[in-house]
Chain A
Amino acid sequence: MECREIRKRLSAYLDGELKQGERERVANHVTSCSNCGRELRALQETCSLLKVDKGIEPSEDFLLQLFEKAGSGRKGYQSLQRARWSFTSVPAFMRLTIVLLIGMAVGVGFGSLTSPERQGGVALTQGRNVAQATALDNFQSVHPQSLTQAYINLTSLLKS
């Protein structure tokens, strides 16, 4: 009677699905019972044979066909290929270089927006408007480092 019960549990025993107490009971029984021991070995051999079949590999165009069916087509597949590139896939020193270049570009761009020449240019425009309004452009204050001031200095120099 016990052999019949034990044999029912042999697959679960081989698959590691039994609780500790049950596992020990089966292990002790198969050690002492030659018939059950033989049955266990046969099941083990069967499981080993199953492992001979390693399965199949996906075909080369599996992904392409999948994306075509998804309606994205080749473009969608390629855009997904491109999207796979990420900043973290770039080597560290290149990442640093890219960051520095971007920083410099931002800095130059920002600097040109806030440069004295630009400010002077703005002041010049404003000054012109005021001068036109008041005809007092000789008294309009300009930034000492602006192009306007530079021109005034140059003309003064030439006059002198």
Chain B
Amino acid sequence: MLRLKDGEADCFKELVMRHQRSVINTAFRVTGNHQEAEEVAQEVFLRIYRAAPGYRPDAKFSTYLYRVTLNLSLNQVRKARAVLSRFFSGEQGFNEELVIGEVADRLPDTPLISLEKKEVKKAVRKAIRSLPKRQRVAIILSQYEGLSYQEISELLHCSHKAVERLIHRGKIQLKEELASYIQKK
């Protein structure tokens, strides 16, 4: 990032290559939509590129990157929810998250993925999307991105204990949502 700040344009590609998978997947797990996740990820890298001249290494770069990713992902979720609410407001039992999820979860037919695994994957994604926002973010960051509770607390601006509670409640809810798959095992 400091090299990018110093005008080494070729290292921008290096930066993108190193972090693109992590950014796209974080955005995907928050938004539930592949295309939106890539759009969010591109916006994340564009903002970083434009902000490079004024970049100050006050904190870890990854913290900065996750913060931008989460902000843009959650904005995207709010936008999508607002659009769907406008069209479907008043419909009983309407849940925007599940609608977004049903569209997103049309997993491509890949012979390598067994039907059962596909089903589990779909269920996992749906379960994560059903979590309240802060629990969802905490679970994604800890279980998929490998961040520590301390790092998550800095990102979410809350205490270490609060993160522990968020993750624990999130896991309890996931356990209940995925109970049938756990029993199968």
> A residues touching B (Cβ–Cβ < 8 Å)?
8-12, 15, 17, 42-43, 45-47, 49-53, 55-59, 62-63, 65-66, 69-70, 80-81, 83-84
Distance (Å) between the CB of B48 and the closest chain A CB? 11
Of B19-27, B60-68, B90-98, the one touching chain A: B19-27
- A45/B185 in contact, CB under 8 A: yes
- A12/B121 in contact, CB under 8 A: no
The 10 closest A-B pairs by CB, nearest first: A83-B10, A55-B25, A11-B168, A46-B175, A45-B182, A53-B124, A66-B42, A52-B120, A12-B164, A53-B121
A112–B121 CA distance with the chains assembled, in angstroms: 73
A59–B21 CA distance with the chains assembled, in angstroms: 10
Q: Which of A46, A53, A63 contacts B182 (CB 8 A)?
A: A46
Q: Is the interface of A mostly helix, strand, loop or mixed?
A: helix
How many residues of chain B are within 8 Å of chain A by beta carbon? 44
- B168/A8 in contact, CB under 8 A: yes
- A46/B42 in contact, CB under 8 A: no
Q: Beyond A46-B175, A58-B21, A83-B9, list 9 extra A-B contacts (CB 8 Å).
A: A10-B168, A17-B148, A42-B182, A45-B182, A47-B143, A50-B144, A62-B38, A70-B49, A80-B12
- B21/A42 in contact, CB under 8 A: no
Distance (Å) between the CB of B54 and the closest chain A CB? 17
- Please, which residue of chain A has its CB at the minimum distance from the CB of B173? A46
Q: A45-B182, A50-B143, A83-B9 are known contacts. Are A59 and B38 too (CB-CB below 8 A)? A: yes
B84 at the interface (CB under 8 A from A): no
- Please, which residue of chain A has its CB at the minimum distance from the CB of B116? A52
- B174/A50 in contact, CB under 8 A: yes
- Please, which residue of chain B has its CB at the minimum distance from the CB of A43? B171
